[in-house]
Structure 1
Amino acid sequence: MIAHLSTADIQKAMNRQSSVGWTALLIACNRGHMDLVNTLLANHARVDVFDNEGRSALHLAAEHGYLQVCDALITNKAFINSKSRNGRTALHLAAMNGYTELVKFLIRDHAAVVDILTLRKQTPLHLAAASGQMNVCKLLLELGANIDATDDVGQKPIHVAAQNNYSEVAKLFLQQHPNLVMATSKDGNTCAHIAA
């Protein structure tokens, strides 16, 4: 089909958005179809198109842990620190969903900002802790994530781990910084208060 279209028609078709803002590239990235992603990119599909929630193809690929798809998008100039409407980046999505290798790839190989904030001022470490992603939390700490970062309600990653009953993650943070046991949120709660 593509062979019979002009370059202008191909670009137009590749970048047409659905009612929810999805293009063929966003759909292919969401499903992890690497061959189709490569074909679309070779035929001028834009990597900087955002859906109605402000998500790019990179967000969708990262959310599902498709490292090779993310690599292809970044190679084709996808902006690594691009934020969705709620302020999440590819790194936030990879961290909260437990994709350790993708987190490492985004930070080490492509300089994703390790402590980038969502609209609620949550770092990737906050989201990994809230989801109980122990290995991602360990990796983020190794890569220099701020264990003392506070979100818009004054919670640190240890607080969100305790709030979601991830005691092993909270223990990891306490091993790193024992003084976190007394850290309070804006409303004066420690992780012990929150976990109770």
Structure 2
Amino acid sequence: LVLKKTNDGWCCLAIACYQGHLDILKLLVQSSAELILSRTGRGLNCLHTACQRGHSDIVEYLLQTCSEKLLFETTEDAGTCLHLACQQGHFRIVKNLIKAGGEALFFKNAAGGLSCLHLACSNGHLEVVKCLINMTGKALLLNLTVEGCSCLHCACEMGHLAIAQYLANLLTPEFVGLKNQSGRTALDLARGAG
């Protein structure tokens, strides 16, 4: 019964992680450790789910309990747990994942070449943006998507002024004026965002 999944691929352990029930998670892991490796129908593992939902206590437990393999597993769109935490702006979780995964986790890109920094910029999470740049320097900042978009493009397109200003102060004028594959600069995208 513990291993049984719902029609969309969720086992009870994944649901416990999604809902933030640490005590239930611990009980389930004791009864069947293999549950930690199960995935939902969308390819999420239990660590992905906890990172996405912002359950830092569950993330900390999983990082202590699980192998490093779980940390680097990707979703169907090639995102890692760090991508999900950055997208949602869960700063404490981002810091814990960085501590556990190190530099190798920073430079994994999701579908379309999206880095964790692109996602933090697109979703307006300035604290996470600053953390990632402080940890990686300009290497992650200069990363482009497959469409040629920089993190500045992402922030401007979504109208995140504070992030755009922060990034513009770190970049050279040439990089600020960089055109994506559609021939649009970050400023062009900012005009479209209003």
Whether TM-score is above 0.5 comes out as yes
Paired residue for 1:28?
16
**1:76 matched to 2:98:** no
Please, what TM-score do these two structures have when normalized by structure 1?
Answer: 0.89
State, as a whole percentage, how many aligned pairs show the same letter.
25
**1:101 matched to 2:64:** no
Paired residue for 2:27?
39
Distance in 2 of aligned mates of 1:174 and 1:143: 18
Any idea what SS the aligned residue of 2:128 has?
helix
Paired residue for 1:7?
none
Distance in 1 of aligned mates of 2:147 and 2:115: 13
Any idea what SS the aligned residue of 1:86 has?
coil
Distance in 2 of aligned mates of 1:118 and 1:34: 28
Paired residue for 2:161?
167
- The one-letter amino acid of 1:149's match is N
Question: What are the ranges of 5 or more consecutive residues in structure 1 without an aligned counterpart?
Answer: 1-12
Distance in 2 of aligned mates of 1:109 and 1:130: 25
Paired residue for 1:50?
39
Asked if 2 retains the 8 angstrom alpha-carbon contact of 1:21 and 1:52, the reply is yes
Paired residue for 2:113?
121
Any idea what SS the aligned residue of 1:80 has?
helix
**Deviant stretches of 4+, over 3 Å:** none
Paired residue for 2:133?
141
The number of equivalent residue pairs is: 184
User: CA shift at 1:181, angstroms?
Assistant: 1.7
- Which has the larger displacement, 114-123 or 173-182? 173-182
Asked if 2 retains the 8 angstrom alpha-carbon contact of 1:20 and 1:52, the reply is yes
Task: Indicate the RMSD between aligned Cα atoms, in angstroms.
Answer: 1.4
Distance in 2 of aligned mates of 1:71 and 1:17: 25
- Which has the larger displacement, 52-61 or 40-49? 40-49
